[in-house]
């Protein structure tokens, strides 16, 4: 009449939570064999278990399921969190701010990295390319966020209804927001930007090159405008008269795309003519827009 197993509490994974740890009667401080009519009239037992966060990057409103077995019957319940759980484990995740995929030859650094936002306009002056620190920022009002593996124009109040509790981003953040990242490659004159999502604009720059002076936009070239056929891109002499840099098709703002690729060119200029081989990419987002995947690829045009 006594059960073969002393395990009292078991569970299965759910949402962002892995399988909870099982508990025995002994671990629950319940003496066995169970006393006749235990807790039928009154009293209770409190059993605590833990469940780890699953591997990955995302959000969840679901929790694990727990089952209690007293050898005569079993009762199950799903334990949902009281708030949306934001989780991120490991660094091999989509849209990792410090690990943007760069899938092309001539590596100097393996991956792309978000930099501190140089300004609140489309094409601000770039004074440095220091890495953005996701813990300490700075996070400006014109900065989007990457939350649950999505880059988005963010006006969310993370101080209410989210775990862990975060900042209130609902105030004074309705204007365009800009995501800027860098990657470092030698002898690079053109490359593809691949993304899924909906954006309002995209620009590239090659700091320390001739394009700093040929560009009419503080060194930036637009991937939403076509390359003007030949020569150095840029409005200014000796540029070709246009700040457009797209070949084979331009980024079209405000439409949703999936795994779309766009080729940006620096014309006859290349990254080896700079001191740091650094290339910048800048993405503009307005309210309601987001990006779910982003990478740099070998040029397709």
**Spatial separation of the C-alpha atoms in residues 214 and 125, rounded to whole Å:** 14
Would you state the pLDDT for residue 72? 73
Residue 228's Cα: distance from chain center in Å? 34
**Spatial separation of the C-alpha atoms in residues 248 and 264, rounded to whole Å:** 9
Please state, rounded to an integer, the average pLDDT across all residues of the chain: 92
Q: Tokens 């800048």 correspond to what residue?
A: 282
pLDDT by residue (tens digit) across 21-41? Answer: 999 988 888 888 878 888 889
Extended strands (E) in 170-297: 177-184, 190-198, 201-205, 220-226, 244-247, 256-265, 278-285, 290-297
Given CA atoms 129, 133, 136, 137 in this order, what sign does their dihedral have? positive
For residue 301, pLDDT over 60 is answered with yes
The CB density around residue 174, as the number of other CB atoms within 10 Å, is: 12
More confident residue, 202 or 7: 202
Q: How confident is the model at residue 106 (pLDDT cuts 50, 70, 90)?
A: low
**CA neighbor of 227 nearest in space, from 209, 203, 241, 246:** 246
**Spatial separation of the C-alpha atoms in residues 217 and 90, rounded to whole Å:** 38
Given CA atoms 205, 206, 210, 212 in this order, what sign does their dihedral have? positive
3-class SS shares of the chain: helix, strand, coil, % to 5: 0, 40, 60
Would you state the pLDDT for residue 1? 55
271 CB-contact burial (10 Å; exposed 0-12 / middle 13-18 / buried 19+): buried
Cα angle value 230/277/143 (rounded, 5°): 95
Residues 6+ apart with CB under 8 A from 100: 111, 112, 113, 114, 181, 183, 294, 295, 296
Residue 164 token pair: 């862990």
**What is the value of pTM for the model shown?**
0.88
More confident residue, 290 or 8: 290
**Spatial separation of the C-alpha atoms in residues 15 and 278, rounded to whole Å:** 40
Do residues 50 and 20 touch, judged by C-beta distance below 8 A?
Answer: yes
- In 3-state terms, what secondary structure has residue 212? helix
């Amino acid at each position: 009449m006594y059960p073969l197993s002393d395990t009292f509490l078991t569970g299965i994974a759910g949402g962002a939570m892995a399988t909870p740890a099982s508990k025995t009667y002994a671990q629950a401080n319940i003496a066995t064999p169970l006393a006749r009519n235990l807790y039928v009239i009154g009293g209770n037992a409190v059993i605590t278990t833990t469940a780890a966060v699953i591997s990955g990057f995302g959000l969840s409103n679901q929790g694990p399921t727990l089952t209690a077995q007293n050898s005569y019957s079993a009762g199950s319940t799903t334990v949902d969190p009281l708030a949306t759980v934001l989780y991120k484990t490991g660094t091999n995740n989509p849209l990792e701010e410090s690990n943007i995929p760069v899938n092309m030859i001539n590596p100097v650094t393996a991956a792309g990295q978000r930099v501190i936002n140089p300004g609140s306009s489309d094409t601000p002056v770039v004074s440095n390319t220091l890495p953005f620190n996701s813990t300490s920022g700075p996070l400006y009002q014109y900065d989007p966020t990457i939350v649950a593996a999505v880059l988005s124009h963010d006006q969310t109040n993370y101080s209410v209804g989210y775990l862990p509790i975060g900042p209130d981003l609902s105030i004074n953040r309705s204007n365009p927001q800009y995501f800027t990242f860098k990657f470092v490659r030698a002898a690079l004159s053109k490359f593809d930007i691949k993304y899924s999502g909906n954006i309002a604009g995209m620009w590239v720059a090659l700091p320390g090159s001739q394009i700093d002076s040929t560009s009419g936009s503080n060194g930036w070239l637009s991937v939403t405008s076509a390359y003007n056929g030949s020569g150095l891109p840029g409005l200014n002499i000796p540029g070709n008269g246009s700040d457009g840099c797209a070949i084979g098709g331009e980024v079209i703002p405000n439409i949703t795309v999936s795994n779309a690729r766009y080729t940006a060119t620096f014309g006859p200029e290349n990254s080896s003519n700079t001191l740091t081989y650094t290339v910048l990419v800048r993405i503009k987002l307005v309210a309601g827009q987001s990006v779910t995947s982003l990478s740099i690829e070998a040029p397709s045009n």
